[in-house]
A and B are shown apart, each in its own frame.
Chain A
Amino acid sequence: MASDEKKTKKSSGAEGSSVPKLPNGDSIRLGKEADGLRKGALGVGIVALAGAVVLGGGPYGKQFQHSYLTAYMWGLSIAVGAVWWVTVQHLFGARWSIVVRRVGELLAQLVVVMAVLALPLLIPIFVGNDVLYPWAEHHYFEHHAYIASKAPWFSPAFFAGRMVFYFGFWVLLAKYFLGQSRRQDTTSGDVALTKKLQSISAPGMILFAVSVTFCAIDFLMTLDPVWFSTIFGVYYFATCVLTFNSTLALSLMWLQSRGHLKSSVTAEHYHDIGKMMFAFTCFWTYIGFSQFMLIWYANIPEETHWFNDRFFGSWLNATYFLSVAHFFIPFFGMMSRWMKRNTGRLRFWALYILAICWFDMYWLVAPNLHKDGVALTAADFLAWIGIAGILVSSALTRARDVNLVPTGDPRLTKSLAFENI
């Protein structure tokens, strides 16, 4: 491809340093201008988390742990969704997304900070504190003999091993994809690297499926050690795709507002990202409804009690709210082309979806603590803000001085010219 040889032109700025640009003149480097936001976000994040700790009864306080878990799983879904998305783009050899893939790769690095942020949840488990997980208490299965057969699953060593596997695998995969892609930047369209990444993505996808399933089970499903659902991993996965795509859209919009990627990322790309948001809203609904309806229909008490907790008192209102807000509104709202091709309107939906996915996590976690009814507390919101702030800060840190577009990808030109149906 003749036109792909000179991917970037270096233009010398006033300072004398060269800032990489694309042939269409777009800036593709995030410089110092993001530092203010980065530090601010980190500050807000830390303060908010501290506030959540204080209002939540201390690091081992019940409210804090539940609020933190809600926010944590929300944040993790963005990072894990990014890992999935990058893997899938390589697996299918997708071309439309090449322009935006680097941003996805950068968002995937958030798994590193999420691994660290898991500690406030993991430490109580290892010291046997059952503030969040009943089974963390050492003698739990002696008092609950009817589920004692699953005790080996919860042995600290096995649990730790699994955590190491999940986060280790995600971190390795995220770093690998970013690293190889950046290496490709220094070449002029090395196809061998693209092929290598594609062949890695297939086994990577298999391990991803296993890791996201069991991570969701370990963190969320075991809040109620009796309950089980084979589709639970898929349910969480749907959230991952939704939050990631929303975050991707917002990140791209923010970058464009700061003068980067102005003509590279077009309405076509936003349209496709919006289509994923729409499609996975439907997918989430399908999975959520299947899980609910099958358990409702068979009416077996060892399964229905989980839904019972969410169907009485004010929790019923929360459940209705979740179904309307997570399905009906985005379904009708995001159906049309018109809604998805405009950044202002898509920004609304991206923020909306991020918010409603947080509420989905809340609906999964909080009935464990507030058995009598919905109780949204300040700790819930502060934990959420805290995680969000830290994620923003971490993403900006990682994005510093990295090409925002995989300039070395042999099919970049096709992606720049992509037009939707």
Chain B
Amino acid sequence: MARSRGPSPQAIRVLRALAADPARWRYGYDLATEVHLKSGSLYPILIRLADRELLETSWEPGPPGRPPRHLYRLTPTAREYVAALDVARAERSVPRRRLGLSGA
């Protein structure tokens, strides 16, 4: 039975980047550049997100003789998931701010 763990900080960065414009299809390399992740970290994250049905994928046909490109965007479930992450983060940060524990 697969364990259901929470997303890693890197996965959350990828989710937030995709959630910034949820309707837009994104390329892997652009995504890696934006969230400052190496390709070796990005693709395992994308694979896990797709396995959990948080990521929708599509292929963009390339010019003749060149391979197609893979495109990514969040599923509706993932958008709700990211919204829930934001709420949970806001709730956690409130007591920290009250105690003066915020890092800023």
Chains A and B are bound partners: no
